[in-house]
Amino acid sequence: MRILITGGTVVTATEIMRAEVLIDDGTVVALYGGEGGGVADAMARTAIELGVDTTIDAAGKYVLPGGVDVHTHMELPFGGTYASDTFESGTRAAAFGGTTTIVDFAVQTIGEPMMDGYEEWMAKADGNAAIDYGFHMIVSDVNDQTLKEMDILMGEGVTSFKLFMAYPGVLYSTDGQIFRAMQRAAENGSTIMMHAENGIVIDVLREQALARGETDPIHHSVTRPPITEGEATHRAIAYAELAGCPLYVVHLSAKEALEEIVAARDRGSNVFAETCPQYLFLGWRNLEEPDFEGSKYVCSTPVRSHEQGHQEALWTGLATNDLQVVSTDHCPFCFNDHPTLGTQKKLGLGDFTKIPNGLPGVEERFALIYHGAIAEGRLSLNRFVEVVATTPAKMFGLYPKKGTIAVGSDADIVIFDPNAVSRFSAENIHMDVDYTCYEGMEVVGKIETVLSKGQIIIEDGEYRGQKGDGVYLERGTSQNLL
Ligand SMILES: [Zn+2]
């Protein structure tokens, strides 16, 4: 199958060029361009002589690398229910939203081998995904066996391990456990990912809030104040520097945490962080929506007050590379009952601590960040590509197969119309959830066509792929270290 994308403007992390993209057997095989299109025309003629099965006219459009979302939770068990997107529905929605690779989290059950969790998540995804996927491993139970399994999983292409300083009694690890895992990562070359919130202190604040009768969704954020994230981030960095392993802080939302990342990077440490669209676009005004609608925005780390400058600081961090990645932490739960999973967000009616933590976002990320970058003037076009595709691929050992448009790369491509406008609504999303956090929001640009490995999977608003098109990616170690 040979495809020629003609007439478009190809944008990567480093270039913006008028170019033709020739795809053969799922891979980009030639990229020819230049102002005036002379070389490009010659290329097009060559391609036609070779015989092209499909030509995609991208005149007036951007030709962008497919998005890489390195933080999703399909089918995650949490708080007595499951994240409502399966690998089938969630990866299809990702494709609609211009994302062609996800890295999801397999979970170790406490008391059980880590390999069992890995195999369970591999089975959940196998044959169901619309786009390629990899796994990080959530380490719930650090012990001698688990440390050995970290080495084994490296051989399976799982090169990053996530630990939690939050959720005591569930996913929480002690400082000693965290430090041991970090030492192992320093030895085997893997990356430690950290949910950096002081869960012990947060639990005290939550109990006290409930005792005062403060039960509404806003108290989810009030009881996780920015300093609990800043302090945990500081501590995680200190341990990672002592152990000598790379550290990647997930879903950073507080400017206090960002300040710790900046300081560590200024020291030359291999410390990285992602933020997510919800922390850039949402805040307490959303959590305060009446009739329990605020529960739609409950996730951890929490969305922050609009009045304290967190959102601005995060945009600045993205512009200056103090933050390197935008991922989603996609973990949807229905507001009203889900047809098969039943009550989800409303488990927390009358008690904010029982609201499942997580929100949908895998479908909106690419368009939202483009809008923030270009329409709101926050980031350059190249930087947009870098934070949604190129750096996440490099950070987690997938580059240049994923994350760019170059000869030899997988033909994971988004044809994007910068002159159109899109509008988010619960009626037009494809995620298996009954709301979008961005209801009614209009964004500049439209995702027109999406290719995964040279196959058109989204076209004219329709899904043209099949479940199982997406395969497991064995990842290498981080290619983004200082
Ligand atoms: Zn997460």
CB distance 69 to 330 below 8 Å: yes
C-alpha to C-alpha distance for 397 and 409, rounded to whole angstroms: 14
How far, in Å, from the CA of 48 to the mean position of ligand 1? 46
How far, in Å, from the CA of 316 to the mean position of ligand 1? 23
Closest CA to 49 of 41, 59, 38: 41
Per-residue pLDDT at 479 exceeds 90? yes
How far, in Å, from the CA of 87 to the mean position of ligand 1? 15
How far, in Å, from the CA of 331 to the mean position of ligand 1? 7
How far, in Å, from the CA of 73 to the mean position of ligand 1? 7
How far, in Å, from the CA of 103 to the mean position of ligand 1? 11
C-alpha to C-alpha distance for 383 and 318, rounded to whole angstroms: 9
How far, in Å, from the CA of 95 to the mean position of ligand 1? 20
- Residue 283 pLDDT: 98
Binned at pLDDT 50, 70 and 90, residue 43 comes out as: low
How far, in Å, from the CA of 470 to the mean position of ligand 1? 21
How far, in Å, from the CA of 147 to the mean position of ligand 1? 22
Cα 273 versus chain centre, distance: 12
How far, in Å, from the CA of 82 to the mean position of ligand 1? 13
How far, in Å, from the CA of 255 to the mean position of ligand 1? 19
Per-residue pLDDT tens digits for 264-313: 999 999 999 999 999 999 999 999 999 999 999 999 999 999 999 999 99
How far, in Å, from the CA of 397 to the mean position of ligand 1? 19
Full DSSP string of 288-317: T-TTTGGGGG--SSPP--TTTTHHHHHHHH
How far, in Å, from the CA of 315 to the mean position of ligand 1? 20
Mean pLDDT, the chain, rounded, equals 96
How far, in Å, from the CA of 3 to the mean position of ligand 1? 37
How far, in Å, from the CA of 164 to the mean position of ligand 1? 10
Per-residue pLDDT at 45 exceeds 90? no
CB distance 101 to 66 below 8 Å: yes
Residue 51, classified by CB atoms within 10 Å of its CB into exposed (0-12), middle (13-18) or buried (19+), is exposed
How far, in Å, from the CA of 76 to the mean position of ligand 1? 10
How far, in Å, from the CA of 4 to the mean position of ligand 1? 38
- Residue 350 pLDDT: 96
How far, in Å, from the CA of 18 to the mean position of ligand 1? 38
Per-residue pLDDT at 38 exceeds 60? no
Cα 196 versus chain centre, distance: 17
How far, in Å, from the CA of 329 to the mean position of ligand 1? 5
Per-residue pLDDT at 329 exceeds 60? yes
Binned at pLDDT 50, 70 and 90, residue 48 comes out as: low
Per-residue pLDDT tens digits for 218-241: 999 999 999 999 999 999 999 999
How far, in Å, from the CA of 275 to the mean position of ligand 1? 11
Q: What is the mean pLDDT of residues 107-133?
A: 97
Q: Where are the beta strands (DSSP E) in 151-249?
A: 160-164, 191-195, 247-249
Residue 447, classified by CB atoms within 10 Å of its CB into exposed (0-12), middle (13-18) or buried (19+), is buried
How far, in Å, from the CA of 250 to the mean position of ligand 1? 7
How far, in Å, from the CA of 386 to the mean position of ligand 1? 21
Per-residue pLDDT tens digits for 172-216: 999 999 999 999 999 999 999 999 999 999 999 999 999 999 999
How far, in Å, from the CA of 411 to the mean position of ligand 1? 28
Cα 40 versus chain centre, distance: 34
C-alpha to C-alpha distance for 409 and 309, rounded to whole angstroms: 39
pTM: 0.97
How far, in Å, from the CA of 162 to the mean position of ligand 1? 9
- The bridge status of strand 191-195 relative to strand 160-164 is parallel
How far, in Å, from the CA of 460 to the mean position of ligand 1? 32
How far, in Å, from the CA of 71 to the mean position of ligand 1? 6
* Amino acid at the residue 118: Y
